[in-house]
Structure 1
Amino acid sequence: MDPESDALSLMRSNIHDLEKEMAWCEQIIDTRLKLHFKQDTNISSIFDILPPDLQQSHSHYAQFIVKHQLDFQMRLILVLALLPALKPNVLDVLNCHNELTQRPFTEFAGVEMESCFYVTGETVSFLLGGDDLSIRFQVQSQLQSTDPQGLNEILYLHSPHYDPLSMKTPLRLQTEYLLFFTTSEHYRPDLSDAFPATRVQSQLNWQDLVLPKSVMEPLEEIKSWIQYGETLMFDWGFMNKLRPGYRALFYGPPGTGKTMTASVLGKAISHQVYHVDLSKIISKYIGETEKNLERVFSTAENKQWILFFDEADALFGKRTQASGINEQFANQNVAYLLQRIESFSGISILATNLKDNLDDAFFRRFESVIYFPLPSVNERLTLWRQGFSKKSTLHQSINLDMIAAEHVLSGAEIMNVIRFASLQALRLGTDEISQASLLEGIRRQKIPNLNQKDAVTDSSADIFG
């Protein structure tokens, strides 16, 4: 089945199951109102109205319910949170006025926002148990639970007003789950001030990586965590023994494939990778950097995403002796980041060219610390051979074995040379790569390094007179 047909099939499955679920919810609302207003009904308990059996369904909605073993109460909360987006008129009956008081019914306790009616914990408590306090406390407990598989994963439970019991907070479904349960699409936020990160993708596959064994082995460990970490934590009972999430550090010279590897890793296990834009994170104003970073972590919490922080030493640098207010707040930033990255339940990868610039305390937080060296001779030869287009040919004078042996270049630099030589060929109207253009491309890649060495020599001369 092609991807488009598969997506359409999943969407139809969602529609079928959601229609049954909403009909179940409508029956509960109707029955509770009849019981409340003492009207005729042959049902004495809401819990006698059994939810649809979705055990054999393949929809994303049904799979989520089965996987998380949602009980009657949590399942009702979920469908009530879906109604404003799918069938808002079902809730109209709860958004009415009491003829005696000319005010909304207190016990219905919904919230009207943006021309839409949302239920609250109070509403759920009323629907399930009327004025039964034991039911009310159960609902309150579920809304306040920090269980990563609980309602906090799927609901946006933030109230504009102080709500210590979480019972007056409008129950709104998070965007990614609304998409997942309806059209079966994955949530892909765009770069913005609210989410300062950009999705990165790669055309390469796992088998295309040209990296030494010392890098590939720990990468396989990260893959294993992503694939089996949830089983380890929940089924094998490691929740109270291990920290949530996974943290890795990639370090090494520029151009050795740190960013590319992160994107290929995400592709290999179907996780989206988001490159955090540090220019939108770091602020000169006190407290703003932490707020910006918190938005990233909060948005990415409980999602199958990988957060990638390049040039991480700019954000996670060493703490210094606090001699002034600026140093004091900078140290507080690092302390906050240490705590937040440790509590993040997802996958976070930090990359840096300068490992020694990172605060030492971060190294205890990493499950993997992976060094990306410059490629060996054999790896360089593989990169040269794989890099050229199949539509191009190499002039017979080109000896890739010799070039790989004589020129120590990173993977990125090799691709820059190949791009330069290929463009030169196209400009001359040929598909043949010349040795002259290849050597000129290599020379251009080495110029910045030579300039850097000259700068070091000049500064040394100044120091030593």
Structure 2
Amino acid sequence: MINDNVIAYRKERQDSAAPQRCSPASQSNAALLGAYATWCEAVIQTRLQLHFDQACPFTDVYEVRPPAISAEDGTLAAFVQQHELDFSCQLLLTLALMPIVKPQVLDVLLMRNDNIERPYTEFGGGEHQGGVVANGETLAFLLGGESIEIRLKVQRLLSAIQSGDMRQLTASEAAVIQLFDEPDEIIINPLKLLLLLSPRQVSYFTVGGEYSTPKGRGFPAQLVTPSYSFDSLVLPNSVVRQLDDIYAWSQYGDRLRNEWQMAERIRPGYRALFHGPSGTGKTMTASVLGQRLGKEVYKVDLSRVHSKYIGETEKNLERVFTLAEHNQWVLFFDEADAVFGKRTQASNANDQFANQNVSYLLQRIERFDGLVILASNYKDNLDDAFFRRFESVINFPKPEAEQRLAIWQKGLLPETQLAADVDLQDIALRCSLSGASIMNVIRYVLLKAIAENRPLINHSDLQEGINREQGGKTQPRW
């Protein structure tokens, strides 16, 4: 039952004092993961030898030292060093990685007890997607054998996965616990929780890259990849200050909730409403905000969300919200009044159905733990109950003359040649255009210059483009 791997491991650790060669960056995760697999196997063998009173070179599992990572440079080594993970935290993380790295290490959990003809209860473990995974019972057994004190410590640690309350944890413990997804169902005994990392974290600690979430056909949200930067935006100072509030939440929100113990006083996540006339930069701002925050922005396609079947709309939205939480996306709802509209007195089944959708969204958006942005040209069309749920309500007004001038100057290419009769400052002062309209004019005059094979932009070109833009607007009927 017990082999001699642990003896070989002990000798290997005794020799580890010698300088170790740093692995190349592309192989550092693999090298360290291999070392952790060997360490985990040795910890398991040591605990089994001690548990069954067999000959063992160690008197405690804590004598089986974790791999030295000072010379490693991968994402796994960086995480362990940054958060100063102790023995218990490293073992927790290692057990969660074993099904991906070396699944046979956990096969010992299936060992049968001949007395009861079933696996040893104290080993813990379970099955997931056809493989063996460790659970809280496994961690408690490896750390303390039959120690009730250790079991209670592990129970306290893992209960934070479901509750999200990190106040009783050390900084190292909180860093590891946040790697795990909250289970889909409530588990009364935290020791029964399967130690499963989120797909995003598995990708980070193995291949060292970003995880591309499989969404399938018909997924009602699209990744927004703007070709411009946040610094290229021309916005009023009032808007910029409120965007800074969103950035501050992104950087320090977790610290506020956990270290400053505000989790019970403030809601998770952040909700912002962008409202104002069409063409004032609401969509552009939302799409590039992710660059500043270091997050992906997904724009929800409302045409794919709505369904005539009862419950399907909520199901489609729940899928988007769940993936956004797991992958830390920014969710963006353009023309949000189409799906977040006011509830009305239900006079028929359609009204009741629409009210049900809005009620679901009110609840779901309040417990969303990421950033969600709603954009609307008409904020008065939104249900009143949404406004108390917004941390920021940001008005995007039409640009003033100074801002219009900056949009003209930034919109034109540096190599664009303007004729002597072109006065951008005068145009910005006279023509009250939105940012989107200015860019439409710039697109028109540049295409015209290319088509006529001339490098110069004349005043008449700009005026013609402005007239076309102003004349193409739909006039009100009253």
Shared fold (TM-score, shorter chain, > 0.5) = yes
Matches within 5 A, 1:179-218: 179-189=203-213, 192=216, 196-218=220-242
Report the alpha carbon displacement of residue 334 of structure 1 after superposing the two structures with TM. Answer: 2.0
Report the alpha carbon displacement of residue 370 of structure 1 after superposing the two structures with TM. Answer: 0.7
Establish whether residue 127 from structure 1 lines up as the match of residue 142 from structure 2. yes
**Residues 207 and 155 from structure 1, CA distance in 2 versus in 1: closer, same or farther, beyond 3 angstroms?**
closer
**2:96 counterpart (61, 81, 90):** 81
Report the alpha carbon displacement of residue 403 of structure 1 after superposing the two structures with TM. Answer: 2.4
Report the alpha carbon displacement of residue 256 of structure 1 after superposing the two structures with TM. Answer: 0.9
Report the alpha carbon displacement of residue 209 of structure 1 after superposing the two structures with TM. Answer: 1.7
Report the alpha carbon displacement of residue 249 of structure 1 after superposing the two structures with TM. Answer: 0.9
Query: Which position in structure 1 is the counterpart of 2:464?
Result: 440
**Distance in 1 of aligned mates of 2:442 and 2:165:** 47
8 Å contact from structure 2 (residues 181, 326) kept in 1 = no
Establish whether residue 60 from structure 1 lines up as the match of residue 85 from structure 2. no
Aligned residues: 446
Query: Which position in structure 1 is the counterpart of 2:436?
Result: 412
Using the size of structure 1 for normalisation, the TM-score is: 0.83
Which one-letter code corresponds to 1:371 in the other structure? Answer: N
Matches within 5 A, 1:389-400: 389-400=413-424
**Distance in 1 of aligned mates of 2:382 and 2:253:** 27
**1:23 counterpart (31, 38, 45):** 38
8 Å contact from structure 2 (residues 198, 326) kept in 1 = no
**Distance in 2 of aligned mates of 1:93 and 1:404:** 75
**Residues 292 and 152 from structure 1, CA distance in 2 versus in 1: closer, same or farther, beyond 3 angstroms?**
farther
SS at match of 1:173: coil
Q: Deviations over 1:208-240 (max 9, x none)?
A: 221111211111222222222233233333223
**Residues 236 and 55 from structure 1, CA distance in 2 versus in 1: closer, same or farther, beyond 3 angstroms?**
farther
8 Å contact from structure 1 (residues 157, 169) kept in 2 = no
Query: Which position in structure 2 is the counterpart of 1:290?
Result: 314
Q: Which runs of 5+ in 1 are unaligned?
A: 1-7, 458-465
Query: Which position in structure 1 is the counterpart of 2:179?
Result: 154
- Aligned-residue CA RMSD in angstroms? 3.3
Which one-letter code corresponds to 1:89 in the other structure? Answer: Q
Query: Which position in structure 1 is the counterpart of 2:295?
Result: 271
SS at match of 1:301: helix
**Residues 75 and 289 from structure 1, CA distance in 2 versus in 1: closer, same or farther, beyond 3 angstroms?**
farther
Q: Deviations over 1:142-186 (max 9, x none)?
A: 444322665764234547x99654655643321111122223323
Q: Deviations over 1:411-462 (max 9, x none)?
A: 111112211221222122233234444333323323442x342xx24xxxxx
Query: Which position in structure 2 is the counterpart of 1:326?
Result: 350
**Residues 141 and 148 from structure 1, CA distance in 2 versus in 1: closer, same or farther, beyond 3 angstroms?**
closer
Establish whether residue 258 from structure 1 lines up as the match of residue 273 from structure 2. no
**Distance in 1 of aligned mates of 2:255 and 2:119:** 46
Greater shift in the superposed pair: 198-207 or 52-61 = 52-61
Establish whether residue 423 from structure 1 lines up as the match of residue 447 from structure 2. yes
Report the alpha carbon displacement of residue 37 of structure 1 after superposing the two structures with TM. Answer: 4.1
**Distance in 2 of aligned mates of 1:41 and 1:57:** 30
Establish whether residue 367 from structure 1 lines up as the match of residue 391 from structure 2. yes
Greater shift in the superposed pair: 434-443 or 409-418 = 434-443
SS at match of 1:43: coil
Greater shift in the superposed pair: 294-303 or 377-386 = 294-303
8 Å contact from structure 2 (residues 218, 304) kept in 1 = no
Report the alpha carbon displacement of residue 373 of structure 1 after superposing the two structures with TM. Answer: 0.9
**Residues 119 and 276 from structure 1, CA distance in 2 versus in 1: closer, same or farther, beyond 3 angstroms?**
same
**Residues 260 and 232 from structure 1, CA distance in 2 versus in 1: closer, same or farther, beyond 3 angstroms?**
same
Query: Which position in structure 1 is the counterpart of 2:3?
Result: none
**Distance in 1 of aligned mates of 2:284 and 2:423:** 27
Greater shift in the superposed pair: 302-311 or 368-377 = 302-311
Which one-letter code corresponds to 1:355 in the other structure? Answer: K
SS at match of 2:422: coil
Query: Which position in structure 1 is the counterpart of 2:13?
Result: none
**Distance in 1 of aligned mates of 2:165 and 2:295:** 18
SS at match of 1:401: helix
8 Å contact from structure 2 (residues 221, 299) kept in 1 = yes
Q: Which runs of 5+ in 2 are unaligned?
A: 1-22, 167-173
Query: Which position in structure 2 is the counterpart of 1:5?
Result: none
Query: Which position in structure 2 is the counterpart of 1:385?
Result: 409
Using the size of structure 2 for normalisation, the TM-score is: 0.81
8 Å contact from structure 1 (residues 198, 275) kept in 2 = yes
Which one-letter code corresponds to 2:38 in the other structure? Answer: A
Greater shift in the superposed pair: 175-184 or 224-233 = 224-233
**Distance in 1 of aligned mates of 2:471 and 2:413:** 26
Report the alpha carbon displacement of residue 380 of structure 1 after superposing the two structures with TM. Answer: 1.1
Report the alpha carbon displacement of residue 250 of structure 1 after superposing the two structures with TM. Answer: 0.6
Which one-letter code corresponds to 1:154 in the other structure? Answer: L
8 Å contact from structure 2 (residues 122, 138) kept in 1 = yes
